[in-house]
Amino acid sequence: MQNIRIELQKAEQFLAPGSVEALQPQVKAAREALESGQCAGNDFLGWLHLPSSITPEFLAQIKACAQTLRENCDTIVVAGIGGSYLGARAVIDALANSFEWLTNQGENPNILFAGNNIGEDYLYELTEYLRGRKFGVINISKSGTTTETALAFRLLKKQCEEQRGKDVARQVIVAITDAKKGAARTTADKEGYTSFIIPDNVGGRFSVLTPVGLLPIACAGFDIDALIRGAQDMEQLCGCETPYEENPAAQYAAVRNALYQSGKKIEILVNFQPKLHYMNEWWKQLYGESEGKDQKGIFPAAVDFSTDLHSMGQWIQEGERTIFETVISVIDQRHTLLFPHDDENLDGLNFLEGRRVDEVNKMAELGTQLAHVDGGVPNMRIVMPKLDEYYLGQLIYFFEVGCGVSGLVLGVNPFNQPGVEAYKKNMFALLGKPGYEAETEAIKSRL
């Protein structure tokens, strides 16, 4: 079995000789600090050996719950925000047939997402769509108090109970939350919902391999055993014992930090597969929330190519030279589609006759990489043999450990997110939430 691997040469060529080597001791120390727990945020290291600690019995429980939902629902709404939805969405989008949801005639329920915004029209249209459907809800919130999610869940719970009756609703609403605290836990216990626990020591953005990601992914019909196997193999490969030259996460952390120190402040994650759009979004949250603090941190941006070559491509080719790219390159496609012959050849594309669409995509990828390197953009390439559960498991764990190591090398606590609280405090003050009277008065005086 191959592993995902990382190509660095087209990034390292932009760096002063010795600059990556100089960071290697820090990378090693950071990886060892994660292992020994001697680092900032060490109460949130539960993700580090999560893959190898997952038992078949635990996976069987997740699969049994997913089976109940699949048997009783044509649609499942996953309510959650940030780390409580992006991982599941990334994996499901990467694996699902892009058009099955339009007909909803496949064997899998439609998986929809809510609780990740406060758009009134979005929620209204969702409730309209769900009218008359046999839908269930997976309510995911580690704190159990996140406003976006709680708001959506209140609407969904009410509609589910009205449409399906309280007894069925109790079977098709599942909670994934803290073991003891938070409103989601209180409601789950009172209503008798099936529930799963998000471990205390796993932060939201590192939680995709807990029930947070596993249950929705299993509900969508995908193989969570293979996902975990991939993560387990990457856990081994990115361990403390693996030398730098063989450890992709250590290499990624070293090179991106060296680029940052050389003035490349923005990392753009690139894919050439529309199915990876939400993997980009998951990655942005993972790295943005982990590293952007203390007035430091690489800004994580993302593009879908070749789509965005026709929008952001100009900026990347010729804009300010403060960027580097990390390209996720998928070698094998699931399907084969050959260009047909056309007698008239009005579009001039007969030179592609009989060739695969993916060959064109691969040449777009190579051509783009060479053009961007020529334009002064360092390029790393993460090579995935194919887009399946096993390699997505590898990719997820690779990015997680790369993030933990990178953040420590940068000198921040990668596992907290104090900055996220500021908007919440203002929003509650503006809405007049009980307990925020002083803040309400203070903020109103500023308007």
Q: Show the binding pattern over residues 408-447: x = contacts ligand PA5 (CB under 6 A), - = does not.
A: ---------x------------------------------
Please choose, out of 61-69, 96-104, 136-144, 219-227, the segment that lies near ligand PA5 by the rule CB under 6 A.
Answer: 136-144
**Residue 34 in contact with residue 407, Cβ under 8 Å?**
no
Taking the least distance from each CB to ligand PA5, the nearer of 68 and 145 is 145
Site for ligand PA5 contains 141 (CB under 6 A): yes
Q: How far is the CB of 175 from ligand PA5 (least distance, A)?
A: 12
Q: How far is the CB of 43 from ligand PA5 (least distance, A)?
A: 13
Site for ligand PA5 contains 289 (CB under 6 A): yes
**Total chain residues near ligand PA5 (CB under 6 A):** 14
Site for ligand PA5 contains 149 (CB under 6 A): yes
Q: Show the binding pattern over residues 65-84: x = contacts ligand PA5 (CB under 6 A), - = does not.
A: ----------------xxxx
Q: How far is the CB of 115 from ligand PA5 (least distance, A)?
A: 8
Q: How far is the CB of 143 from ligand PA5 (least distance, A)?
A: 3
Among 3, 24, 61, 143, binds ligand PA5 (CB under 6 A): 143
Q: How far is the CB of 85 from ligand PA5 (least distance, A)?
A: 8
- Residues 6 or more apart whose CB falls under 8 angstroms from that of 76 comprise 69, 109, 110, 111, 112, 135, 136, 137, 138, 216, 219
Taking the least distance from each CB to ligand PA5, the nearer of 142 and 381 is 142
Q: How far is the CB of 286 from ligand PA5 (least distance, A)?
A: 8
Among 142, 185, 229, 381, binds ligand PA5 (CB under 6 A): 142
Taking the least distance from each CB to ligand PA5, the nearer of 202 and 237 is 202
Q: Show the binding pattern over residues 171-210: x = contacts ligand PA5 (CB under 6 A), - = does not.
A: --------------------------------xxx-----
Looking at the annotation, which residues are catalytic? 289, 310, 424
- With left for phi above 0 and alpha for psi between -120 and 50, is residue 32 left, alpha or beta? alpha
Q: How far is the CB of 145 from ligand PA5 (least distance, A)?
A: 7
Taking the least distance from each CB to ligand PA5, the nearer of 82 and 297 is 82
Site for ligand PA5 contains 211 (CB under 6 A): no
Taking the least distance from each CB to ligand PA5, the nearer of 195 and 417 is 417
Residue 202 CA: distances (Å) to CA of 254, 314, 329, 374? 24, 39, 29, 41
Taking the least distance from each CB to ligand PA5, the nearer of 84 and 195 is 84
Taking the least distance from each CB to ligand PA5, the nearer of 210 and 368 is 210
Q: How far is the CB of 95 from ligand PA5 (least distance, A)?
A: 22
Taking the least distance from each CB to ligand PA5, the nearer of 141 and 280 is 141
Residues contributing to the site for ligand PA5 (CB under 6 A):
81-84, 141-143, 146, 149, 203-205, 289, 417
